[in-house]
Every structure is written in C-alpha cells, then in structure tokens.
Amino acid sequence: MSPTLKRDTSSAEDRRTFDIYDGPEPDRKGMYPGRVQKVTIRKGKSEPHNLYYNVLVILEAPDDSPKAKFNGYPAWVMITMTDKEANLEREKAFYKAVAGKDVVNVAYTGTPGGDEECVVTKIGGKDPVGVAVRVDIQQELYNGSMRPKGDCIFPSTVDIDQVSPENGEDPDAGEDPDAEPDPDEDAAAEDGDESTEDDAGTDDLREELEGLNLLKLKRRAVDEFGLDADDLKGVAKEDIIEAILESLPDDEPEADEPDETGEDALPAYLDVAALTLPNLRKFTVEQGYDADDVASMKKDEILEFLVSEELIEAPNPDDPPF
C-alpha cells in the first residue's frame, strides 16, 4: 500500500486571484468600467501611519466599447482614510459605489499593518468583490513617461467617457457631419495666429492641471498660485482649474515663467518609492553613488538617504505609502 499524506486546509481563507494581464494599458484619462476584485486595509509605514484601502479593480467594458481592449487590466486605487476633505470625498465615492451609502460598517479579517493580510469582507453589509464600479484613471509622469493611475472609484451609474482608440477623444462628438462650414470660424482661423500664441501657455497649463487628482490640484492651487484653501472646499475640479487660470497675469502665463533657481525640480518621492528595489538601487547609482554601498541597503534606507541628500522630494505624510 502506497503511503498517503493528509492535509486539512479548511481553516484557510479561499485565495482570490486574477489572471496575469499582458494587454495594453489605458492611455487616456477618464472613467473605465470594471469590477472590484479585492479590497485590503493597510497602514502607512511613515508618520502618522494613516490607514488606507488598497483596492483592485479589473476593467470590464462591453464588447462594443472602445475601452473593451483594456478588459482585464488591473487598476489599483489607494484610498486614504483621514478627515481631510479630498480624502473624505474619495472615501465617500467608494462607499457609494460598493454599498450605495456613505455611512458604513466595514468588516475585515486580520489586523491593519499586522503580519496577516487585512482583507475587507463586507462594506455596509455587502461583499465588495464582484461589484460593478467605475474607475477614474488619470495619467501620471513616471520615470520620464506617462502611466495610468487609478485615482477614485465611483458607482457604476456614472457615465463612461466615449474615447476613440485612435486619439483618445471622439472627434465628431456634438457635431453635425452634414453641417455647412462656418465662414466666421474660417476667418478667425486665418487671423488667429497671434491669439494662438498667446493662449498656448494657458492651454498647456490647463492640460497639465487636468492630469492631477483633486488633492494634488488643491495643493498646487494653494502653494503655487496663492489661492485660499478655505475657498476651495467643496469646489469641483474644473472650477478650481478655471480659478487658477484666472489668477494668471494677462501678459504672460505663470506656467511659462522660468524657475528662479534655474534648476530642475526634484523627482517626486512617490514616483521613486514606487520603484522595485533593483531599479531603486540602479537609480541611486545613476546619481553618482557607489554600487557596492547601495547593494547592502534596504529600500527604506535608500529612500531616506536620497531625501537627506536632496536628490528627491521629501515625503508628504498625507500621501498613501507604498
């Protein structure tokens, strides 16, 4: 008789997995449909150790949608749990998306920040796994190129932006294909070279601001453009952008003014912290430091060193950690 090995795994949680995705990444900001695959609670590694949700949404658009080519893409969204307005707005949208209400009880296994993974099992009495939602995906600069970043989660009733796979927008939206050309528009196009040059800086700034999430937009509005933080409470993103553009001097957009120091801005802490340890070590060596010295350092040690040497921005305690 052959020997047997008996193992009892009945006490373990069912493992939730997702297929490895090898398709294209979303290359335009906008709303993308999907389903929640997993929700965990984590604790920030740095002060003040804020709790945050780490939410995985697998994109799932109808087959006839231009966004169907991204089906299966894993969109991660971090939702920090603090009393700051911008964070509360994102947290509320998440609860509305999953449970349909903004006051909820959250059930989970494990301990946030403990050795055991803390998995959310119920939000407002509902299992979040499999719930249809909309993910607001923005584009962020990372290692010199743009990449998608999940910014917020909304209910599935939110409209999806119609995005053309060729250029990221619907060129015919709102236009009558049989309409006669407007002679006034043609004349304005012929005589508009000067105004086009004047507006170029403002258009570039608008596009840059639209790529920010609400929290970063408000922070920049206050720190760089001098707007009052209290005046921005409850204000929509587009209205904040308009307020920033209106604050610019008439003769020259502020966005085109050179840096007074003449130096390039330091790399953002979150961008560098998102690197894997091998790539982080490579980045440090590229700054002129010895590879043998870096090889023995842990990730946290390298980040602390880069901040102390003023090679990257200092971390912001309000940002969700990696």
pLDDT band at 302 (very low <50, low <70, confident <90, very high): confident
Torsional class of 195: left (φ above 0), alpha (ψ -120 to 50), beta (otherwise) = alpha
For the segment 36-62, what is each residue's pLDDT rounded down to a tens digit? 999 999 988 777 788 999 999 999 999
Return the pLDDT at 221.
82
| DSSP letters spanning 186-228 | HHHHHT-HHHHHHHHHHHHHHHHHHTS-HHHHHHHHHHTT---
Mean pLDDT in residue range 285-295: 79
Q: Work out the number of other CB atoms within 10 angstroms of the CB of residue 49.
A: 12
Measured distance CA(67)–CA(192) in Å, rounded? 36
Indicate yes or no: pTM above 0.75.
Answer: no
Measured distance CA(49)–CA(28) in Å, rounded? 32
Measured distance CA(129)–CA(37) in Å, rounded? 5
User: Tokens for 22?
Assistant: 């090898």
Q: Is the pLDDT of residue 207 over 90?
A: no
Return the pLDDT at 147.
86
Return the pLDDT at 181.
43
Residue type present at position 177: P
Return the pLDDT at 183.
45
**Under a CB-based contact definition with an 8 Å cutoff, are residues 46 and 149 in contact?**
no
Q: List the end-to-end C-alpha distance of the chain, in Å, as a whole number.
A: 52
* Percentage of residues of the chain with pLDDT beyond 70: 74
- Tokens 């440090």 identify what position? 284
C-alpha closest to that of 137 among 26, 40, 60: 26
Mean pLDDT in residue range 266-279: 78
Q: Is the pLDDT of residue 173 over 50?
A: no
State the chain's mean pLDDT as an integer.
76
Return the pLDDT at 286.
78
